[in-house]
Amino acid sequence: MIVLKTGRELSVMREACKISARALKLIGEAIEPGVTTAELDRIAEKFIRSCGATPNFKGYNGYPATACISINNEVIHGIPTAKRKIQNGDIVSVDLGALFEGYHGDNAATFACGDVSEEAKRLMDATRESLYEGIKMARAGGRIGDISNAIQSYVEARGYSVVRDFVGHGVGTSLHEAPEVPNFGVAGRGVRLMPGMTLAIEPMINIGKPQVKIMPDGWTVLTQDGSLSAHFEHTIAITADGPQIMTIA
C-alpha cells in the first residue's frame, strides 16, 4: 500500500532527512587514506544520536552498523569494520539514514578518496547526474517508469550499466515502503505519481556488466565482473509544485 503523507508528516520527515544528509556529509568530509570504515561509522552514529534520532539501518534485518560503506567494486551494503582501511584512489559509497519522531530519512553518495582515476570520476559524475535526471521526472501525474527510464537512458548512453537486482523504494514510517522505484524501465508505465508520495531514488551504476553477487556475510554486494560501481540517493517528496529533495544538509 502506498502511503500519502500530510503536510505535518512531511515536516517531520524533512527533519529526519536533514539529519540523514548531515550525517552523510560528515562521513564524506572524514574520508581520507588510512581511516577505517568503522571510524566513519562511529562518526555517523554519534551525530545521528546527538540529534535525538536513531540510526535506522542499525539492527534492520540484523544489519550491524549505522552506515553501509562499500568500496570500489562493492555496490551496496558493505559492513564497516576496524580492519578495513580506505586507501588513496578508492571510491567509497556510503548509504545511511535516520529515524526521527517515527519517520525515516535515507540517502547515499559515492566519495573519492585522494587521487582517483579519471574512469572512476566519470562513473561517479554520471551516477550522480542520473539521480537528478530521475528526480526531474518525479512529477505528480507522471509514472514511476518516467523516473526509471530517465536514469537508465542517461547512464546507458554513456556506456554504463544499471544494477537490476536492487531498486529504490518508498519511504516514510517504514524504511522501505511501496512502491519500488527501479533504475530501469519504460516511460509512461508503472504506478502513477501523486502529491504526498515520498520516494528514495537511488541509482546503482556499474562501469562493467550489471550482474552482482552477494558475499558470504549475507550483506555485501559486489559487481560480478569486478568492475567499479557508484551509488547516489536522495529521499524526495512528490508535490503539486514538483519534486522536492528532502535529504539536504
N- to C-terminal Cα distance for the chain?
A: 30
3-class SS of residue 212 = strand
- The answer to whether residues 175 and 84 touch, using CB atoms and an 8 Å cutoff, is no
Closest Cα to residue 163, out of 216, 116, 117, 222?
A: 222
Q: What is the pLDDT of residue 122?
A: 98
- Mean pLDDT value across the chain: 98
**Cα three-residue angle 160-187-208, rounded to 5 degrees:** 10
Cα 227 from Cα 51, distance rounded (Å): 37
Query: Are 198 and 171 a contacting pair, CB within 8 Å?
Result: yes
Q: Which residues, 6 or more positions from 222, have their beta carbon under 8 angstroms from its beta carbon?
A: 73, 74, 75, 212, 213, 214, 215
Locate 49 and state its grid cell: 544520536
Largest CA distance in the chain: 49
Stretch 59-69: mean pLDDT, rounded? Answer: 98
So what's the pLDDT on residue 65? 98
DSSP-assigned letter for residue 184: S
Classified as helix, coil or strand, 31 is coil
In order, the DSSP letters of 37-85 are: HHHHHHHHHHHHHHTT-EESSTTGGG--SSSEEEETTEEE-PPP-SS-B
**Positive or negative torsion for Cα 165, 141, 178, 248:** positive
Rounded CA gap, 198 and 5, in Å? 8
Write down all domains in the chain, each with its CATH number in brackets. Answer: 7-245 (3.90.230.10)
Give 157-168 pLDDT, tens digit per residue: 999 999 999 999
Cell of 21: 544528509
Per-residue pLDDT band for 242 (boundaries 50, 70, 90) equals very high
Q: What is the pTM of this model?
A: 0.98
Q: At what angle do helices 7-30 and 37-50 cross, to 10 degrees?
A: 150
Residue 54's pLDDT is what? Answer: 98
Which band of pLDDT confidence, cut at 50, 70 and 90, is reported for residue 19?
A: very high
160 close to 207: Cβ distance less than 8 angstroms: yes
Instruction: Compute how many other C-beta atoms are within 10 angstroms of the C-beta atom of residue 90.
Output: 18
pLDDT tens digit sequence for 45-54: 999 999 999 9
Classify 15 as helix, strand or coil: helix
Q: How confident is the model at residue 92 (pLDDT cuts 50, 70, 90)?
A: very high
Give per-residue pLDDT as tens, 180-198. 999 999 999 999 999 999 9
pLDDT digits (tens, 9 = 90+) for 104-152: 999 999 999 999 999 999 999 999 999 999 999 999 999 999 999 999 9
The H-or-E segment that residue 179 falls in is strand 177-181
* Average pLDDT rounded to a whole number, residues 224-245: 98
Rg over CA atoms, the chain: 17
